[in-house]
Structure 1
């Protein structure tokens, strides 16, 4: 990836130079580009088989009441799905019945 020195936006290669959405140009450097990572050829990925993975290896647990079976232990993960100035959303999975739910601040 290359970013514009003028405006900071992502640049794309065009006709031997890097060009950003605002029209700024930067010369390409073939030596630097050799170390860049591409997603080309990675469009298709295989499904990961998790059937043999022990549940204790999947993530941390916490005390949380499952709304489906009322078991009191769940695995959790936190993700930032809204703007950065808002709190993360907590996603839970019941270790007993596998029910999934989320909890976020409103």
Structure 2
């Protein structure tokens, strides 16, 4: 957890006081804050769905379609929507994301 000085907005550092407690102090101005009880904060971050990252639920609506065999077991679909994204460095190939038009199975190929 980082706390910042309310006067100059620099990061506060922890240092010891004479009475055995710790304090937060600013190194550029005379601001001090005595720590008399535990300080903590907890934040819960929720993961985004893959659809949200790559354009939301309508990302596949305008995607190109091609003749590709679906790798899902039991699916005989031969058409899939796809799009390509450059995920890695420029000297690596683009990553292709596919969605089967028959069963909705999604996969990717590097």
TM-score by length of 1: 0.45
TM-score by length of 2: 0.43
Larger Rg: 2
